[in-house]
């Protein structure tokens, strides 16, 4: 029992000695102390200078500012300074991204870089501020339209026939959908920020011609598939009726190809074989 008391006393003395050597009893400013005006001005001037010396977005600068606020000033109330710094970063991105969108040779790689920067900035913001910041919301809206316009301008126009013997995909609906998307993009109020981009303007303006070429290719391919299919089916009256219906639908949709010699020959040959089969029975 006496030995246990001695061990407990020794442990207590050891703990007191450790605390004396390791705990810092030096006075510290109370948590949340306000920064004085001179201190705030000094940091703001430094942050502004950092951005002025950078002609482009530099994530390392923004990270350095955030690190300074979170560590060197950790004992102070830095909410206002942090909010000010975040707003300066937003102003920097806003200026850069809209300047890039205004160029005729707008670089998509740069746009993607700036959008990534807005995501980085948002991580330093409170939730209500992320949703309500008008500059970030506007950038997001314009970027959404930019991506739609870029993708459509560079879209490969074309539709597979989906021919199954008596029906096929509707090129007319496909064409209407593409044109509707183009008109919606160009009619959006935010398109004013993208109208100088040559790649987008040229791509959108070429849509109608691309659709016309795609239409010709679609029906040329369809004619070949009709011929291939009906050459291999039994030459009966039922199949002749189906073929006549297919040719009638084809001619109605694609008047430019009404005098297609390939299809006319198919019908003539098919009819002759049906007659010959009937005669031989």
pLDDT at residue 9 in the model: 46
**232 found inside a domain:** yes
- 222 domain-assigned: yes
Q: Residue 36 falls within a domain, yes or no?
A: no
pLDDT band at 42 (very low <50, low <70, confident <90, very high): confident
Indicate whether 198 belongs to any domain.
yes
Q: What is the CA radius of gyration of the chain?
A: 37
Q: What pLDDT is attached to residue 182?
A: 97
Contact criterion met (CB below 8 Å) for 204 and 185: yes
Residue 20 in any domain: the answer is no
User: Could you list the residue range(s) of the whole structural domain that residue 266 is in?
Assistant: 171-280
pLDDT for the residue 256: 72
Provide the pLDDT confidence category of residue 60 given band limits of 50, 70 and 90: very high
Locate 22 and state its tokens. 């390791």
Q: Is residue 154 part of a domain?
A: no
3-state secondary structure of 33: strand
Residue 80 located in a structural domain = no
- Give how many domains the chain has, as a whole number: 1
Asked if the structure places residue 143 within a domain, the reply is: no
Q: Average pLDDT of 29-50?
A: 77
Q: Taking the model in full, what pTM does it have?
A: 0.79
What is the chain's length? 281
**pLDDT greater at residue 254 or residue 28:** 254
């Amino acid at each position: 029992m006496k030995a246990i008391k001695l061990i407990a006393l020794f442990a207590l003395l050891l703990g007191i000695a450790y605390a004396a050597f390791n705990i810092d009893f030096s006075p510290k400013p109370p948590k949340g102390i306000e920064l004085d005006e001179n201190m705030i001005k000094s940091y703001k001037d430094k942050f502004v200078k950092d951005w002025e010396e950078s002609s482009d977005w530099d994530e390392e600068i923004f990270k350095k500012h955030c690190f300074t606020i979170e560590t060197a000033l950790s004992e102070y109330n830095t909410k206002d300074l942090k909010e000010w710094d975040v707003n300066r970063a937003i102003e920097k991105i806003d200026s850069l991204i809209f300047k890039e969108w205004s160029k005729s040779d707008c670089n998509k790689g740069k746009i993607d870089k700036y959008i990534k920067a807005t995501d980085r900035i948002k991580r330093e913001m409170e939730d209500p501020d992320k949703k309500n910041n008008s500059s970030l919301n506007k950038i997001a809206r314009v970027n959404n339209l930019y991506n739609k316009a870029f993708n459509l301008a560079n879209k490969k126009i074309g539709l597979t026939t989906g021919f199954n013997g008596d029906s096929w995909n509707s090129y007319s609906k496909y064409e209407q959908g593409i044109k509707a998307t183009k008109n919606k993009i160009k009619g959006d109020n935010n398109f004013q920020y993208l109208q100088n981009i040559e790649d987008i303007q040229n791509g959108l303006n070429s849509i109608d011609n691309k659709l016309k070429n795609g239409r010709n290719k679609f029906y040329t391919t369809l004619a070949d598939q009709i011929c291939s299919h009906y050459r291999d089916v039994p030459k009966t009256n039922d199949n002749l009726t189906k073929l006549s219906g297919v040719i009638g639908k084809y001619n109605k949709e694609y008047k430019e190809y009404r005098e297609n010699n390939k299809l006319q020959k198919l019908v003539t040959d098919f009819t002759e074989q049906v007659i010959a089969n009937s005669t031989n029975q």
